[in-house]
Amino acid sequence: MEHGTRDIKSSTFCLTDEDHTLANALRFTLNQDPRVVFCGYSIPHPSDAQVNIRVQTTGAHAGLVLKDALQNLRAMCQHIRSTMDGAVKEYKENPPVEAMETEETEE
């Protein structure tokens, strides 16, 4: 849901069923975009699963900038997931050769 004026370059978006996890990652992603002048978020009340994200741009449509940021964040998460899955698979296929020495193995 979008709140704000008729100005396309600044809007506040309300995300329901979300918390700091998504909001902080999205804020970081938005602030990496050169079209963004300001981005911040607030959670109106701790017991409500709701986040308000404010986006102000240099002239681009704030909704499109938010959409781009969400797509970039999704791509980053997919990259992290595939990298992690690959590392786990490689570790399982090639376990470490040397075992750690413990008191049990020394006897």
- In the chain, the domains with their CATH numbers are 10-91 (3.30.1360.10)
Q: Which pLDDT score is estimated for 95?
A: 84
> Using an 8 Å Cβ cutoff, are 39 and 31 in contact?
yes
Q: Which pLDDT score is estimated for 104?
A: 63
| Greater model confidence, 99 or 22 | 22
Q: What is the pLDDT of residues 38-68, one digit of tens each?
A: 999 999 998 888 999 999 999 999 999 999 9
> Using an 8 Å Cβ cutoff, are 10 and 62 in contact?
yes
| Greater model confidence, 47 or 84 | 84
CA angle 38, 46, 64 (to 5 degrees): 30
